[in-house]
Structure 1
């Protein structure tokens, strides 16, 4: 390993990422919540957009919310 220090550094960066399916499972669970029996007439595109908004809304500050008001037309 010490013969290739650059390769070792790159490998350590690459392989230290933890693999997990929890994010996709949470996304699938949220999709089930949004596309429930009461909302089964939503188009797949609309469900995908709502799931995207649900997951990314936590990254938006309340002060920046007015910046995204034009996006309502996209739904």
Structure 2
């Protein structure tokens, strides 16, 4: 069975999300270094939202590939 992650659109979406997470992490660090904690908290919230979106995409792909076995660990 072909993996959902083999689809070009999923690879592009995953790469975009990972790049956005890296960008947000850098911005959050910069804001913390200058003492702008309120703005850093807002960036943290945005980063968390992207991480949830990425996790959802990854889990959905796994569930599409392995119906009924998505949460079983490999033997």
TM range (shorter): 0.3 to 0.5
Whose helix fraction is larger, Structure 1's or Structure 2's? Answer: 2
Question: What TM-score do you get using the length of structure 2 for normalisation?
Answer: 0.36
Structure with the larger RCO, 1 or 2 (CA within 8 Å, 6+ apart): 2
Question: What TM-score do you get using the length of structure 1 for normalisation?
Answer: 0.36
> Larger radius of gyration, structure 1 or 2?
1
